[in-house]
Amino acid sequence: MTAYLDHAATTPMLPEALAAMTEQLAVVGNPSSLHRTGRAARRAVEESREKIAKALGARPSEVIFTSGGTEADNLACKGTFWARRDADPARVRLLVGATEHHAVLDCVEFLVKHEGATVTWLECTPEGVVEPATVRAAIEQDPDSVALVSVMWANNEVGTIQDVAAIAEVAHEYGVPFHTDAVQAAGHLPVDFAASGADLMSVTAHKLGGPIGVGALVARRDARLVPLSHGGGQERQVRSGTLDTPAIVGFATALVASVASLEEESARVAALRDDLIERALEIAPDIRPTGPWERGETTRRLPGNAHLLVPGCDGDSLLYLLDAAGVSCSTGSACQAGVPQPSHVLLAMGISETDARGALRLTLGHTSTQDDVDAVIEALPAAIDRARRAREATAS
């Protein structure tokens, strides 16, 4: 039996989402076709769009379907940059949180390298928070040069939740559009697009009990976007391509179900998270959690996120040792070109490279139980001991 504690990477599909998607898979029809079967597929898409919009506090016309969070982030950042630069060649500066997901970071680096963009990385506190005052100071360096501000709603590694409404308010004072990556937040936190003040918001289905391969960019109707791809002109002329009707139906079903049980599920998962963290700290007194955390905390940290630094260990070693013991989890490291690197998120939070290499990310979700937490706590002491001995042997 495997204890699955990697919900931040992908979450098992909810039974109702799987059933709805499976039923739709048996139905033929291209939603762009004008005949009866095409119109039926279009109806399924539009009904799903309405459900998703309602669950996210948006208008149906603001929901642009994509293949997932990465495409949504790229469309938001590249599409906005090109549109703003085309309207005003001076608008080439991007203000981006230093702890963003690579779907944003690598997109921005592409724009810097190939499209003449410049970037100001927004520093964060030791808990991973980007303060609105930091955003204001960055804009005021040269307000007329800013094309976009992008700060994620909740961090995928350490679970830190940002005050997106306050950041959006600052951006709008200077007439700058604001994008937030809400991939980890949607379905797990109260997400209201209209109330947040964001102009653009990225979400994806497979983090909240829906299928892999479908997501959305929620974009205000007045948001100016240059398409990444061209073709049939679907999705407001900014995201061409035949829509995946079954996946969209599964996405909508999962989001509605997740939002309906959000309050109860958040409290349940947070209790498991707190138990996991507290018992892990008892195993080794030098283990420490990253980001904002206290028992019952769900407003500053994602309910299901337990991120630990284990001194004297390599996170990858812990991952493989726990995997061998039947525990699926992740680390805080990104592997680039086959060379393990300490997490950019942890470095931005002021954590040393040495400590950052000992990161372990354990994330819980709708399938998580007390047995999963118990399995981690049972396997962790031996994994830590072996990982520390392995590092010592390597060092010597």
Whole-number Cα distances in Å, 364 to 4, 77, 277, 343: 8, 30, 12, 21
The DSSP result for 216-230, as a single string, is EEEE-TT-----SS-
329 is catalytic: no
φ and ψ of 95, to 5 deg:
-105, 115
Tokens 């904002």 sit on residue: 292
Choosing from 124, 313, 329, 335, which is the catalytic residue? 335
- What is the torsional sign of CA 296, 300, 302, 308? negative
The DSSP result for 228-287, as a single string, is SS-SS-TTTTTS-S---HHHHHHHHHHHHHHHHTHHHHHHHHHHHHHHHHHHHHHH-TT-
The angle subtended at Cα 291 by Cα 309 and Cα 336, nearest 5°, is 60
| C-alpha–C-alpha distance, residues 128 and 271, integer Å | 22
Tokens standing for residue 289? 């959690």
CA atoms within 13 A on the CB side of 177: 24
Are the C-beta atoms of residues 29 and 245 closer than 8 Å to each other? yes
Angle between helices 69-87 and 102-114 (to 10 degrees): 30
Residue type, 111: L
Tokens standing for residue 146? 């800013």
Catalytic residue positions, numbered: 335
